[in-house]
Amino acid sequence: MLGEGILKGMAETAKNFAGSFVSKERLTTVEYPEERIAPAENARVFPFLVYDTENWEAGLRCVACQICEKECPPKCIYIDKSKDKKPDYVGKQQFYPTRFDIDISVCMSCQICVEVCPFEAIKMDTQFELATDDRFGGLLLDREQLAKSNEYYHEIHPTEASEVDARLAEEKAKADAKAKAAQATAAKAAADAATKTAAPASPTQAKPEGGQD
Protein backbone atom coordinates (compact mmCIF):
# COMPACT_ATOMS: atom_id res chain seq x y z
CA MET A 1 0.00 0.00 0.00
CA LEU A 2 1.26 3.44 -0.87
CA GLY A 3 2.09 5.41 2.25
CA GLU A 4 2.61 2.41 4.49
CA GLY A 5 6.30 3.23 5.01
CA ILE A 6 5.52 6.82 5.88
CA LEU A 7 2.94 5.72 8.45
CA LYS A 8 5.44 3.30 9.95
CA GLY A 9 7.95 6.10 10.30
CA MET A 10 5.32 8.38 11.80
CA ALA A 11 4.51 5.73 14.40
CA GLU A 12 8.20 5.66 15.32
CA THR A 13 8.39 9.43 15.78
CA ALA A 14 5.13 9.42 17.75
CA LYS A 15 6.59 6.76 20.05
CA ASN A 16 9.65 8.90 20.62
CA PHE A 17 7.61 12.04 21.13
CA ALA A 18 5.38 10.41 23.74
CA GLY A 19 8.34 8.70 25.33
CA SER A 20 10.08 11.97 26.03
CA PHE A 21 7.28 12.88 28.43
CA VAL A 22 7.46 9.59 30.28
CA SER A 23 11.09 8.61 30.65
CA LYS A 24 13.69 10.90 32.13
CA GLU A 25 16.66 9.36 30.32
CA ARG A 26 15.33 10.56 26.98
CA LEU A 27 16.10 14.11 28.00
CA THR A 28 19.65 14.33 26.77
CA THR A 29 20.28 18.06 27.24
CA VAL A 30 20.61 20.29 30.31
CA GLU A 31 19.97 24.02 30.77
CA TYR A 32 23.60 24.99 30.42
CA PRO A 33 24.60 28.06 32.42
CA GLU A 34 22.45 27.06 35.40
CA GLU A 35 22.92 23.33 35.13
CA ARG A 36 26.26 21.76 34.27
CA ILE A 37 27.40 18.27 33.50
CA ALA A 38 30.71 17.61 35.22
CA PRO A 39 33.52 17.18 32.65
CA ALA A 40 34.86 13.68 32.09
CA GLU A 41 37.88 12.80 34.17
CA ASN A 42 40.16 12.57 31.15
CA ALA A 43 38.80 15.73 29.56
CA ARG A 44 41.40 18.14 28.27
CA VAL A 45 41.15 21.74 27.21
CA PHE A 46 44.34 23.81 27.54
CA PRO A 47 47.62 23.12 29.36
CA PHE A 48 48.60 24.53 32.75
CA LEU A 49 51.80 24.44 34.79
CA VAL A 50 51.88 22.46 38.02
CA TYR A 51 53.56 23.85 41.13
CA ASP A 52 54.22 22.30 44.53
CA THR A 53 54.41 24.11 47.87
CA GLU A 54 52.65 27.40 48.60
CA ASN A 55 54.51 29.87 46.41
CA TRP A 56 53.73 29.40 42.72
CA GLU A 57 56.91 31.04 41.50
CA ALA A 58 59.25 29.00 43.68
CA GLY A 59 57.35 25.75 43.31
CA LEU A 60 57.05 25.48 39.53
CA ARG A 61 58.14 22.06 38.39
CA CYS A 62 59.14 23.42 34.99
CA VAL A 63 62.92 23.60 34.46
CA ALA A 64 62.75 25.38 31.08
CA CYS A 65 64.13 22.42 29.13
CA GLN A 66 62.09 23.68 26.14
CA ILE A 67 61.18 20.21 24.88
CA CYS A 68 57.47 21.10 24.80
CA GLU A 69 58.25 24.29 22.88
CA LYS A 70 60.05 22.23 20.28
CA GLU A 71 57.49 19.42 20.05
CA CYS A 72 54.32 21.55 20.11
CA PRO A 73 52.68 20.95 16.70
CA PRO A 74 51.21 24.46 16.22
CA LYS A 75 54.15 26.08 18.07
CA CYS A 76 52.10 28.01 20.61
CA ILE A 77 54.50 27.79 23.59
CA TYR A 78 57.09 30.51 24.20
CA ILE A 79 59.78 29.92 26.83
CA ASP A 80 62.67 32.08 27.99
CA LYS A 81 65.24 30.18 29.99
CA SER A 82 66.79 31.79 33.07
CA LYS A 83 70.51 32.60 33.20
CA ASP A 84 70.91 31.54 36.82
CA LYS A 85 69.82 28.42 38.65
CA LYS A 86 67.74 28.16 41.73
CA PRO A 87 66.70 25.22 43.87
CA ASP A 88 63.50 23.55 42.75
CA TYR A 89 60.96 21.96 45.04
CA VAL A 90 63.25 19.03 45.90
CA GLY A 91 66.25 21.29 46.48
CA LYS A 92 68.14 20.54 43.27
CA GLN A 93 69.73 23.45 41.41
CA GLN A 94 67.73 23.93 38.23
CA PHE A 95 67.06 26.49 35.57
CA TYR A 96 63.60 28.01 35.57
CA PRO A 97 61.47 29.75 32.94
CA THR A 98 61.62 33.54 33.17
CA ARG A 99 58.87 33.58 30.60
CA PHE A 100 56.41 30.80 29.86
CA ASP A 101 53.57 31.89 27.58
CA ILE A 102 50.95 29.77 25.87
CA ASP A 103 48.88 31.32 23.12
CA ILE A 104 45.60 29.51 23.64
CA SER A 105 44.13 30.98 20.49
CA VAL A 106 46.65 28.81 18.63
CA CYS A 107 46.77 25.80 20.96
CA MET A 108 44.83 22.81 19.63
CA SER A 109 44.59 20.86 22.90
CA CYS A 110 46.48 17.87 21.53
CA GLN A 111 48.26 17.01 24.78
CA ILE A 112 51.63 16.37 23.16
CA CYS A 113 53.38 18.82 25.52
CA VAL A 114 52.09 16.73 28.43
CA GLU A 115 53.38 13.52 26.88
CA VAL A 116 56.87 14.77 26.10
CA CYS A 117 57.44 16.58 29.44
CA PRO A 118 60.01 14.57 31.47
CA PHE A 119 59.30 16.53 34.67
CA GLU A 120 55.51 16.14 34.93
CA ALA A 121 55.39 19.94 34.90
CA ILE A 122 52.69 20.60 32.33
CA LYS A 123 49.22 19.05 32.46
CA MET A 124 45.84 19.57 30.84
CA ASP A 125 43.17 21.74 32.41
CA THR A 126 39.41 21.20 32.16
CA GLN A 127 38.48 24.87 32.37
CA PHE A 128 36.74 25.84 29.13
CA GLU A 129 34.95 29.12 29.82
CA LEU A 130 37.78 31.31 28.62
CA ALA A 131 36.03 33.69 26.25
CA THR A 132 37.37 37.23 26.42
CA ASP A 133 36.89 40.51 24.58
CA ASP A 134 40.60 41.26 24.71
CA ARG A 135 41.64 39.68 21.47
CA PHE A 136 45.40 40.16 21.66
CA GLY A 137 46.47 39.98 25.28
CA GLY A 138 43.61 38.01 26.77
CA LEU A 139 44.40 34.76 25.05
CA LEU A 140 48.15 34.81 25.65
CA LEU A 141 48.46 33.27 29.08
CA ASP A 142 51.63 33.97 31.04
CA ARG A 143 53.37 32.06 33.84
CA GLU A 144 51.19 33.41 36.60
CA GLN A 145 47.93 32.61 34.82
CA LEU A 146 49.16 29.15 33.87
CA ALA A 147 50.44 28.15 37.30
CA LYS A 148 48.02 25.90 39.18
CA SER A 149 48.72 23.98 42.35
CA ASN A 150 49.20 20.25 42.59
CA GLU A 151 46.03 20.13 44.74
CA TYR A 152 44.06 21.58 41.85
CA TYR A 153 45.55 18.92 39.59
CA HIS A 154 44.39 16.26 42.06
CA GLU A 155 40.95 17.80 41.99
CA ILE A 156 40.49 17.64 38.22
CA HIS A 157 42.33 14.41 37.32
CA PRO A 158 42.45 12.39 40.57
CA THR A 159 43.67 9.05 39.17
CA GLU A 160 46.27 10.51 36.87
CA ALA A 161 47.57 12.90 39.58
CA SER A 162 48.09 10.16 42.15
CA GLU A 163 49.98 8.10 39.57
CA VAL A 164 52.19 11.09 38.84
CA ASP A 165 52.77 11.71 42.55
CA ALA A 166 53.78 8.10 43.11
CA ARG A 167 56.21 8.29 40.20
CA LEU A 168 57.74 11.53 41.46
CA ALA A 169 58.09 10.20 45.01
CA GLU A 170 59.88 7.14 43.65
CA GLU A 171 62.25 9.32 41.63
CA LYS A 172 62.91 11.52 44.62
CA ALA A 173 63.67 8.53 46.84
CA LYS A 174 66.09 7.25 44.20
CA ALA A 175 67.77 10.64 43.89
CA ASP A 176 68.07 10.94 47.67
CA ALA A 177 69.66 7.51 47.96
CA LYS A 178 72.08 8.39 45.16
CA ALA A 179 73.01 11.70 46.77
CA LYS A 180 73.54 10.00 50.12
CA ALA A 181 75.77 7.35 48.54
CA ALA A 182 77.74 10.01 46.68
CA GLN A 183 78.17 11.97 49.89
CA ALA A 184 79.38 8.88 51.74
CA THR A 185 81.96 7.98 49.08
CA ALA A 186 83.16 11.58 48.92
CA ALA A 187 83.60 11.72 52.68
CA LYS A 188 85.46 8.41 52.59
CA ALA A 189 87.72 9.60 49.78
CA ALA A 190 88.46 12.81 51.65
CA ALA A 191 89.33 10.87 54.79
CA ASP A 192 91.61 8.55 52.80
CA ALA A 193 93.36 11.49 51.17
CA ALA A 194 93.85 13.19 54.55
CA THR A 195 95.46 10.10 56.08
CA LYS A 196 97.63 9.19 53.05
CA THR A 197 99.18 12.53 52.26
CA ALA A 198 100.32 15.21 54.61
CA ALA A 199 99.33 17.90 52.17
CA PRO A 200 96.18 19.85 53.03
CA ALA A 201 93.33 17.84 51.71
CA SER A 202 91.10 19.40 49.14
CA PRO A 203 88.00 17.37 49.70
CA THR A 204 86.26 16.52 46.45
CA GLN A 205 82.74 17.40 47.25
CA ALA A 206 79.80 15.55 45.99
CA LYS A 207 78.83 17.62 43.05
CA PRO A 208 75.21 18.55 43.12
CA GLU A 209 73.61 17.08 40.03
CA GLY A 210 73.42 19.59 37.26
CA GLY A 211 70.18 20.68 35.73
CA GLN A 212 68.91 19.33 32.51
CA ASP A 213 70.20 21.37 29.64
Partner 1 sequence: MTPSIAHPDRVEGWNRPPIIEPDGEGELLEVAMGPHHPSTHGVFRMDVALDGERVIRLKPVFGYLHRNHEKIAEGASYLASMPYTDRLDYFCSLTNNWAYALAVETLVGQQVPERAEYLRVILAELTRIQNHASTIGFLTQEMGASGTPLMYAFREREKILDLFEQLTGSRMMCNYMRFGGCRVDISAALLDEARKIVAGLPGFIDEFEALLSTNEILMARCQGIGKLKPELAINAGISGPMLRASGVDYDIRKVDHYGIYDRFKFRVPLGDHGDVYDRYMVRVLEMRESVTILEQALKDIPAGPIMDPKSKIRGFRPKPGEAYGRIEAPKGELGFYLISDGTPNPYRYRVRPPSLINLTVLEDMCLGESVADVVVIFGSVDIVLGEVDR
User: Which residues of the shown chain bind partner 1 in the complex (CB under 8 A)?
Assistant: 2-6, 8-9, 11-13, 16, 28, 40-44, 67, 71-73, 108-112, 115-116, 124
Nearest CB to partner 1, comparing residues 84 and 213: 213
Q: What is the nearest approach in angstroms of partner 1 to the Cβ of residue 130?
A: 16
Q: How far is the CB of 12 from partner 1 (least distance, A)?
A: 5
Nearer to partner 1, 105 or 109 (CB): 109
Cβ proximity of 91 and 74 under 8 Å: no
- Residue 44 Cβ, how far from partner 1 at the closest point, in Å? 4
Query: How far apart (Å, rounded) are the C-alpha atoms in residues 66 and 100?
Result: 10
Q: Which is nearer to partner 1, 13 or 197 (CB)?
A: 13
Shortest Cβ distance from residue 115 to partner 1 (Å)? 6
